Amino acid sequence: MKIRTYSALFMLLSTPVFAGRPLTTEDAGFIEKGGVELEAYYHRQTEPETPKLTGFHLQPSVGIGFNTQLGLGVDYSRQYNADFDATKSSGAFALVGKTGLKELTDDAYGIAIAYSVDRTRAPGESFRYDNAAINGVVTVPVQQWLFHANLGWARSRLAATNATTWAVAAERTGAIGPVDLAAETYGNDHDPAWVGVAARWVVKEDRFFIDASYAVQTGSSRAKLLTIGTKLAF
């Protein structure tokens, strides 16, 4: 299994609370004290001449006050061969958080710092501490648009590498009735960038969402990543 097969998966897992799901780019919003969010999604990654990887991700998060939220992301994945037989399993769990430095409002930009640490389990191995990351986040509202920019640093202990990470995204809220649409690009200074699109159906305002995303990695690998998920807020 090539290391980059897991790169998008662990980028998704180790980044705290995405821009409202299903974007990988984070936003500067944070959960108010006492608030709870539960995100769950299916993901499927494919790449030519590489076994398919599918899995499920679950992440509860809670606002603890001081403009801060904390969460736990858990991911389980299975690798499939050309005959669609499951051959290997892998997993990870991450402690994630985000702290607002300047509150995001409908009329003013927000700034936040996101951070995470995780333990990963490659096929046939036990869980081991691997990734740590910190990410600066800015969100700028412009009428019904939200523009996000991320810049951060990540460390993989197992691979003994550091990476500069980045992401930018644009969201159009209420683009088609209750459906929000978005586009993004994200990556790091070691691998080709990803380009993706996303949609979010607001089933019940501020409470229940259904979402999906699709991204393609640029360069020769042409890996593809699909996610389909939901979010509940309490």
| pLDDT tens per residue across all 234 residues of the chain | 343 444 444 444 444 334 468 999 999 999 999 999 999 999 999 988 788 889 999 999 999 999 999 999 999 988 877 665 657 888 899 999 999 999 999 999 999 999 999 998 877 788 898 899 999 999 999 999 999 999 999 998 888 899 999 999 999 999 999 999 999 999 999 889 999 999 999 999 999 999 999 999 998 778 999 999 999 999
d(CA 40, CA 227): 10
Lookup: tokens for 55:
């899995």
Write out the DSSP string of 71-102.
EEEEEEEEEE-TT--EEEEEEEEEEEEEEEEE
φ, ψ at 10 (rounded to 5°): -75, -25
For the whole model, what pTM was predicted?
0.89
- Cα 15 to Cα 82, 98, 143, 179, 204, distances in angstroms: 31, 10, 27, 24, 26
**Separation of alpha carbons 10 and 165, rounded Å:** 13
Domains present along the chain, CATH in parentheses:
3-233 (2.40.160.40)
Q: Which residues contact 142 (CB under 8 A, 6 or more apart)?
A: none
